[in-house]
Amino acid sequence: MSLFDPTTLSELRAVLAALRQGSPVVLDVPEDVRCQLLQRYVDVSQRNAGLSLLSFGLVLFVAADAAPWWPRVLAFAVMFAIAIARHALVRRWRSSAQAQAPRFDRRHDLLVILAMGLWNSAPFALEGRIPASNLAVVVYAAQLSLTVLAVSHVAAQPASLLASLFSMVALVTFHLHQGTLMSAMMALSTVTLTFALQSRMSDNHRTLLKALAADRQNALLVKELERLRQQLETENRLLGLSLRDASQAASRDALTGLFNRRHLLAQAPAMAELVATRHAQVVVCMIDIDHFKSVNDGYGHAVGDAVLRQLARGMTERLRDGDCVARLGGEEFVALLRGCDLHAGRRLADLLRESVAATRMETEAGDLPITVSIGVAQWAPGEALADVLGRADLALYQAKHKGRNRVEAAEPALATPGRG
């Protein structure tokens, strides 16, 4: 990767801008992505704090066992206090972090630098106090700490760059202080390693940002798909309600709310099939309001409509749940009484007639007495709806002819081959 590559220069500017504002992560990303970077930085920082404390203790009490004990205990106590403070600051950040405006406590970053300072000062403090071989172990441990720090902070390139440079300067200074060719080569290798690590970190950081951007885009797509799914469900539900309302409107009488002739004709084949094949008993009632023309002529159609609506409501309440009432038109109605023979059907029709006669219709012209005449017929197996309606209508004519406000039954029909 070239230092003068436009992408590299852009990343470097982003890192420098973050460092100027004291941010451990880059700032030229969406705020939710920035919050994820901070979260990863915090998680790695927590793990590194424990690892650093453990390795620092091994260096002080194993590799540097020949040094005076109290400075080592003091240095370890300071490192332990730093780890505790970092943990407390991280817990506070996690409890108050907001994806809309992610911030991080700079005291935590200062503690990280202080911990690195303890690591980097260890070779200087132990030089001449422990054997050279042990001092080499201490230097190697500091070099390893630099490597772990650079590699692990892939989400926090600004923090990684600052920490790596800080450690590199300290280690290079120590090597050059030795004044030997070997130490000079070690200093050069430290510089080379640091820049190689940062180059690799830059690639990894770029890959991480692309992955987080893709995750963010996927999350937005999922959210948009969920919104569209809910919108589609709402539209389907509304469409279903509209279709149901349209279906009901097509099968209902607009004035009375009862089923209409269209619905009655649509149900006829199924009802005829029940009568023919399952021997279901159905009685058909033709119902007509007596002298209804005089109501319309004398009081107007508005009063007539009010009478029709109240009569429809009264019949619906009086008949059983399984029965069906439909308006054929004008003042004519049809009731299909299921589960009863001609005798029981005639009795139900008579109860309905008595109920209507006992009820006065409340209208704007006052309470009007209304009576109905009813003709009933037993639906015979194989008989079409038109035929049974014809027989019921003939019985209705007889009821009208015999004085109205009465029920007449048609003669039973002979069973014929199924006709629908």
Average pLDDT, the chain: 82
Mean pLDDT of the region 161-178: 81
Mean pLDDT of the region 1-21: 66
Mean pLDDT of the region 89-109: 68
- In the predicted model, is pLDDT for residue 3 greater than 70? no
Say which residues have a Cβ less than 8 Å from residue 16's Cβ, sequence separation at least 6: none
Give the pLDDT confidence of 330-364 residue by residue, as tens digits. Answer: 899 999 998 889 999 999 999 999 999 999 998 89
Whole-number Å distance between alpha carbons of 285 and 354: 15
Q: What's the pLDDT score for residue 103?
A: 60
Confidence of residue 6 (pLDDT cuts 50, 70, 90): low
| 258-to-288, 329, 335 alpha-carbon distances in Å | 15, 11, 11
- In the predicted model, is pLDDT for residue 417 greater than 60? no
Higher pLDDT, 413 or 183: 183
Q: What's the pLDDT score for residue 149?
A: 67
Whole-number Å distance between alpha carbons of 212 and 215: 5
One of 127, 317, 331, 383 is an active-site residue; which one? 331
Percent of the chain with pLDDT over 70: 89
Q: What's the pLDDT score for residue 1?
A: 45
Give the pLDDT confidence of 276-315 residue by residue, as tens digits. Answer: 888 889 999 999 999 999 999 999 999 999 999 999 999 9
Say if CB 45 and CB 108 are below 8 A apart.
yes
What backbone phi and psi angles, to 5 degrees, belong to 15?
A: -65, -45
- CATH fold of 259-409 reads Alpha-Beta Plaits (3.30.70)
What residue ranges do the domains of the chain occupy?
6-223, 259-409
> Is 331 a residue of the active site?
yes
- In the predicted model, is pLDDT for residue 37 greater than 90? no
Say which residues have a Cβ less than 8 Å from residue 346's Cβ, sequence separation at least 6: 283, 376, 407, 409
| Neighbouring C-beta atoms of residue 322, cutoff 10 Å | 10
Give the pLDDT confidence of 179-228 residue by residue, as tens digits. Answer: 888 888 988 988 888 888 778 777 877 788 888 888 888 888 888 878 87
Mean pLDDT of the region 83-93: 83
- For the ranges 256-270, 313-327, 375-389, the maximum mean pLDDT occurs at 375-389
Helix (H) or strand (E) holding 198: helix 181-251
- In the predicted model, is pLDDT for residue 158 greater than 90? no
Confidence of residue 146 (pLDDT cuts 50, 70, 90): low
Structure letter (DSSP) for residue 101? S
Provide the terminal-to-terminal Cα distance of the chain, rounded to the nearest Å: 86
Whole-number Å distance between alpha carbons of 352 and 316: 10
Give the pLDDT confidence of 358-389 residue by residue, as tens digits. Answer: 999 988 988 899 999 999 999 999 999 999 99
- Dump the DSSP string for 261-292: HHHHHHHHHHHHHHHHHS---EEEEEEEETTH
